[in-house]
Structures are given as structure tokens and as C-alpha cells.
């Protein structure tokens, strides 16, 4: 019998190898995966009240909007394309707090800041407007809701579109994806979100000193040009705010560049100091502006002739608005409005004046200039918006992307601001003199505007998630240093009624899982194979009789009694 042992071992080894191949094949059939970038709905508390998505991890089967009316969705993730979104469904599930395993909203690529197609276009595609309106409405609902399950956003691509098509086919059959029926499983492995402790805010300040004459012993008056640079939106990792307030930042930088050319020559330097401020904490009652102004010494604050704040000036056509807190009859307000109105008329559009009193007892600050007004500094906000947005709305959300900003509008805004300031500084009020005329050395540079708008449109800027030395903040500082003097950073901590949580973006793993029927069939095939293999080995090594004897009932043994 000795010669048979090597042969038996060889056959057994071959059988094991075959079994391994079968198992690997089974894994390939059952575990095909796709990885997708997803962006989490914001999570925050306001005065201790929870809002946004309260969970981050996900491990449920997927379904589409074609699910059965009687389906239990408590352990199901709904994959919903924006193009097919039913707002009544969303409102119903959120308002009635119906159970869900999770939500993933699928956005068209045009809302992605990584999509550069059409970046240079100055015209909005009318076909985009309906989707923009739907997304705007969805975002307002989500940021003011308390959702006890994970909510994510993803962008359309070939892989996830193919998954969605398969999910729809399964849902149409009336068999939701479960452990029994199979389908797709969505998995996000994420730790529990943690509170962002003492989120930093950084204000950036630049200075252009005016020309002081020998007989002028007093401090020169100052004009402040200010813009808030951070954003807030349903998905912090996607809140780039191309218009709010990317357009304001771009305009401030270009105005700084233009006046740096004028002020570099003593012959054309005005007898006004120019103070440029890029402030943080804008969506949160302009908290950074408040802290920045409080850091001023009394002499600087008293030297400010007026401040002009820039907010959302990149999507308008025929008119802009100047918002003020002091009455229109005030001499300083009249002067500001006249300067801007006369230049606007020459450029072919209109600037309206809107007065809104400040309620000191109300902590809500609707416009940035109100922080100046509370300290009795004359100020105004230039904006395309005729009314102030609600708290945490229109501050750089999902719909505020590059495709919906008009470069030509920003260029016209810059020209309006620069010419109006120049006429005030050089005493040219009422005179049709263009200092920043087209095709001159002092003309507004559309390429500069476009390049910075592109950068801002690809940079999420939600203040609580900035580090103290964030590269973007350092880039703004360097740009101001190229055009102004005495540039410095004013760092502080964001305070107020809002508490934020981390975990803003991650990876979604999509697994195609087989049904129990498939598992049973696979088990049957493997079992049959093992039985046949075992029988073959016994027959070839010991003979057929030994195999048959294994299945015979052994004879009973009688116990002998005494």
C-alpha cells in the first residue's frame, strides 16, 4: 500500500487547489465594489438645538425613488438624483420624521467646483435654472432640519449612474434590496463626528497711506473697503460661494491693485488713506468684522470717513443696491449715493439706495456695514440683493458655483467702485472724468478677475474648518502684500450661538451583494463537488467496497448477560 500514498497526496493537493479557485470565483461574483467621493450634510447646533445630519457612518442596502409604497425604509439608503427629486417627498419624510437609513443626493456635474467646463462663460444656461431652483429649495430645507440619519451629496458619473440604473430595475420588480433578495449595499466607515472646539477666524488687513502735505498736521481721513471671505452651505466641503462672497473678494483685490498703481506715484497719490479688510465669520453675524473693528484704536476708528462693504456683486444685470443704516438725508450717505449713482449712470446702469434701521437689542446683523454703524462709523454695503438674506441663507451654498457668476458683472462692479472712490478722493464729483478708462494703464483687468474667481470657485471656505495657517488665507495675505503695505493678520476665535461638528467628506463604498438564493445554490454546488471528490478519493485509494461500507448500518452488538 506504500506506493499509493504519494498518489493520494497529489490528488488531494489538486483537489484543494480546485476548491480555492472556486472560492475565489465566488468572492468575485459576490463582492464587486465601487468607491465614490461623498460630501456630508452639515451638522451644527444653534443655541443647543441640533440641526443637520447627526450621523456619519452608513451600512445599509440601497433603493431609489421607485421603491414599493409599503416598503420599510428604516434600514435603506435612498439614492436620489436631483433631476428626479420630488420635493413633496422630501418635505413629507422630513416634516413627519419618517424613518430612513440614510439619504444620498446625486448632483449634476455642473454643480461640482472641479468641473471646469464653461468656467469662462459670462452667460447663464437657461436649462440650468430649474435645477438650480430645486437645489436651492432643497438646501434651505436640509440646513434647518434635524435629521437622525446620514445625509450625503455625490456627483453623477458613469459608475454611480450604472449602479442607480440597476437599483431602479430591482425596485420596479417590487423586491427591495435586502439580505434575502440581494442588490447593492452602501457603506461609509466614519467615526462619530466631534465638536469643533474654538474654531479660529482670521481677518486680513492691508493699508495704502495717503499723501500728507507739509501744512497738514492732522491725521488723513480713511476710506475702508471691506469684504467677508468665508461661506456657509448644506455641504461644507462644497461651499465655494463664487458670488457670495467670491465676487466681493475679487472686486476688493482688483480695487487694491488699481489704487496701488495710483498711490505708487507721489504725484497721483490721494490725500486719503485706504484700508482694505478681508474679514471672516460673515455668515455668523459678521463676527470677524465685529472683532476686527474692536481691535482698532480710537484714532483710526475716528479717521474713517466711510466704509464700503462688498457683498454678492457677481450676478446682476441692470441695477445694484447700496444698503445703509443712517437715514438717506444724512450728508455722508447722500454723498456716497451721489458718487456711486453718477458713475453708474455713465456706465449704463442704476444704483438704488435702501435704508434699514439697526435694532441694537437684536443680535442679528443683516449686513456687514451694520457692524460699523453700531460703532457710529458711516458705512454702506454694495450688493445685487435688494433685501438681506435670512440667517445662514445665500452665503455660498450648493447653488453658488462658478457657472452662475457673470464675470462682466464683476468687472462693471469694480469699475463702479474704483471710479466712485477716485472721484471722492480727488475731488472730481460731478465731473465726467474716467481715471480707470478702458484700454489705459489703469483699466480693470478681466484676466485678473477671472483667475481669482476661478481660484475662489474651487476653494470651500467655511470658517470653522479653516486652520490658523490655512493655505488659502496665506494666499490672500500674499496677494494683499503685493498691492498694499503693512499687511497683517488679526486672529481670534469664532464665538456665538453656533457649534459645528467635523467630518465633512469621505468615501462611499458600493458593494453588489448576492441574494440568499444564490448563496444556497452556491452551497449546493460546493457540497456536491466535495461529496463527489470524497467518493472518488475513497474509490481510487481503498476500493468501492470501502465506500459502500461507509453507508452500511453497522451490525448491532448484543450485550452478554450473566
Contacts of 285 (CB under 8 A, 6+ apart): 363, 364, 365, 496
- Which segments within 283-346 are labelled E, that is strand? 304-311, 319-324
Distances (CA, A) of 427 to 123, 160, 325, 420, 433: 37, 61, 25, 10, 11
Q: Which of 66, 80, 69, 73 is nearest to 178 (CA)?
A: 73
CA-based nearest residue to 199, from 141, 283, 277 = 283
C-alpha to C-alpha distance for 135 and 106, rounded to whole angstroms:
11
Nearest Cα to Cα of residue 398 among 282, 244, 241, 508: 241
Q: What's the whole-model pTM score?
A: 0.85
Is residue 240 within 8 A of residue 116, CB to CB? The reply is no
- DSSP-derived secondary structure letter, 223: E
Q: Return the C-alpha cell found at 52.
A: 443637520
DSSP state of 326: S
Could you tell me the end-to-end alpha-carbon distance of the chain, in angstroms, rounded to an integer? 43
Written as tens digits, the pLDDT of the chain (562 aa) is: 444 455 554 554 455 555 555 554 444 444 557 999 999 999 999 989 999 999 999 999 999 988 877 788 899 999 999 999 988 888 888 878 889 999 999 999 989 877 655 444 444 455 688 899 999 999 999 999 999 999 999 999 999 999 999 999 888 876 655 555 568 999 999 889 999 998 999 999 999 999 987 655 568 999 999 999 999 999 999 999 999 999 999 999 999 999 999 999 999 999 999 999 999 999 999 999 999 999 999 999 999 999 999 999 999 999 999 999 999 999 999 999 999 999 999 999 999 999 999 988 888 999 999 999 999 999 999 999 999 999 999 899 999 999 999 999 999 999 999 999 999 999 876 667 789 999 999 999 999 999 999 999 999 999 899 887 899 999 999 999 999 999 999 999 998 789 999 999 999 999 988 655 555 666 777 777 777 777 777 677 777 666 677 666 666 555 544 4
Per-residue DSSP letter, 238: G
DSSP letter at 210? Answer: P
Beta-carbon count within 10 A of 32 CB: 12
200-493 belongs to CATH 3.40.190.10: no
Q: How far is residue 111's CA from residue 398's CA, in Å, rounded to a whole number?
A: 7
Tell me the three cell numbers of residue 127. Answer: 436649462
Determine the Cα–Cα distance for residues 104 and 120; give it in Å rounded to an integer. Answer: 30
Cell of 518: 444564490
Give residue limits of the domains in the chain. 31-195+504-513, 200-493, 522-551
Q: DSSP label at 531?
A: H
Please list, in sequence order, all residues whose beta carbon lies within 8 angstroms of the beta carbon of residue 58, skipping any fewer than 6 positions away.
77, 101, 102, 150, 152, 186, 187, 188, 190, 508
**CA-based torsion, 503, 508, 509, 513: positive or negative:** positive
| Residues 236/143/108/38 CA torsion (nearest 10 deg) | 50
- Tell me which residue of 234, 245, 259, 237 sits closest to 289, measured CA to CA: 245
Q: Return the closest-CA partner of residue 26 out of 518, 555, 458, 505.
A: 518
CB 222 within 8 A of CB 214: no
Q: Which of 7, 105, 34 is nearest to 399 (CA)?
A: 105
| Measured distance CA(513)–CA(525) in Å, rounded | 19
Say how far apart CA 358 and CA 366 lie, in whole Å: 9
Amino acid at each position: 500500500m506504500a506506493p499509493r500514498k504519494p498518489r493520494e497526496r497529489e490528488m488531494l493537493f489538486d483537489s484543494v487547489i480546485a476548491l480555492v479557485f472556486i472560492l475565489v470565483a465566488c468572492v468575485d461574483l459576490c463582492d464587486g465594489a465601487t468607491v465614490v467621493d461623498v460630501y456630508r450634510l452639515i451638522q451644527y447646533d444653534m443655541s443647543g438645538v441640533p440641526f443637520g445630519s447627526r450621523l456619519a457612518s452608513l451600512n445599509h442596502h440601497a433603493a431609489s425613488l421607485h421603491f414599493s409604497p409599503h416598503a420599510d425604509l428604516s434600514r435603506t439608503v435612498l439614492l436620489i438624483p436631483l433631476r428626479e427629486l420630488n420635493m413633496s417627498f422630501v418635505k413629507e419624510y422630513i416634516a413627519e420624521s419618517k424613518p430612513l437609513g440614510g439619504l444620498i443626493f446625486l448632483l449634476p456635474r455642473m454643480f461640482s467646483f472641479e468641473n471646469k467646463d464653461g468656467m469662462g462663460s459670462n452667460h447663464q444656461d437657461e436649462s440650468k435654472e430649474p435645477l438650480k431652483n430645486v437645489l436651492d429649495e432643497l438646501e434651505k430645507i436640509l440646513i434647518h432640519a434635524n435629521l437622525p440619519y446620514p445625509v450625503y451629496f455625490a456627483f453623477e458619473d458613469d459608475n454611480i449612474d450604472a449602479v442607480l440604473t440597476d437599483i431602479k430595475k430591482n425596485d420596479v420588480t417590487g423586491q427591495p434590496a435586502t439580505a434575502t433578495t440581494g442588490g447593492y449595499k452602501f457603506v461609509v466607515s466614519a467615526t462619530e463626528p466631534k465638536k469643533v472646539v474654538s474654531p479660529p477666524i482670521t481677518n486680513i488687513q492691508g493699508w495704502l497711506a495717503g499723501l500728507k502735505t507739509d501744512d497738514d498736521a492732522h491725521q488723513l481721513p480713511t476710506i475702508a473697503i471691506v469684504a467677508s471671505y468665508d461661506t456657509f452651505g448644506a455641504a461644507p466641503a462644497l461651499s465655494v460661494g463664487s458670488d457670495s462672497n467670491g465676487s466681493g473678494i475679487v472686486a476688493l483685490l482688483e480695487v487694491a491693485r488699481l489704487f496701488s498703481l495710483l498711490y505708487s506715484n507721489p504725484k497721483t497719490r490721494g490725500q486719503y488713506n485706504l484700508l482694505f479688510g478681508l474679514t471672516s465669520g460673515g455668515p455668523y453675524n459678521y463676527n470677524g468684522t465685529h472683532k476686527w473693528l474692536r481691535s482698532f484704536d480710537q484714532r483710526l476708528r475716528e479717521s474713517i470717513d466711510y466704509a464700503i462693504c462688498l457683498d454678492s456683486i457677481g450676478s446682476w444685470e441692470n441695477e445694484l443696491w447700496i444698503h445703509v443704516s443712517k437715514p438717506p438725508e444724512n450728508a455722508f450717505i447722500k454723498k456716497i449715493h451721489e458718487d456711486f449713482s453718477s458713475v453708474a449712470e455713465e456706465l449704463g446702469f442704476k444704483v438704488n439706495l435702501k435704508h434699514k434701521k439697526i435694532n441694537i437689542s437684536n443680535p442679528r446683523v443683516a449686513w456687514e456695514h451694520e457692524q460699523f454703524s453700531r460703532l457710529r462709523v458711516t458705512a454702506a454695503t454694495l450688493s445685487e440683493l435688494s433685501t438681506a438674506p435670512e440667517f445662514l441663507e445665500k452665503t455660498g451654498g450648493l447653488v453658488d458655483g462658478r457657472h452662475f457668476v457673470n464675470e462682466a458683472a464683476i468687472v462693471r462692479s469694480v469699475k463702479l467702485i474704483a471710479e466712485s472712490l477716485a472721484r471722492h478722493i480727488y475731488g472730481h464729483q460731478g465731473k465726467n472724468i474716467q481715471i480707470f478708462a478702458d484700454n489705459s494703464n489703469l483699466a480693470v483687468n478681466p484676466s485678473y478677475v477671472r483667475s481669482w474667481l476661478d481660484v475662489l470657485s474651487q476653494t470651500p471656505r467655511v470658517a470653522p474648518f479653516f486652520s490658523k495657517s490655512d493655505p488659502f488665507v496665506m494666499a490672500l495675505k500674499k496677494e494683499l502684500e503685493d498691492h498694499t503695505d503693512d499687511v497683517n493678520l488679526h486672529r481670534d476665535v469664532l464665538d456665538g450661538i453656533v457649534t459645528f461638528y467635523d467630518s465633512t467628506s469621505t468615501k462611499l463604498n458600493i458593494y453588489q451583494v448576492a441574494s440568499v438564493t444564490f448563496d444556497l445554490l452556491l452551497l449546493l454546488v460546493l457540497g456536491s463537488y466535495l461529496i463527489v471528490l470524497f467518493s472518488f478519493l475513497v474509490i481510487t485509494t481503498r476500493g468501492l467496497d470501502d465506500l459502500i461500507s461507509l453507508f452500511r448500518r453497522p451490525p448491532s452488538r448484543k450485550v452478554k448477560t450473566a
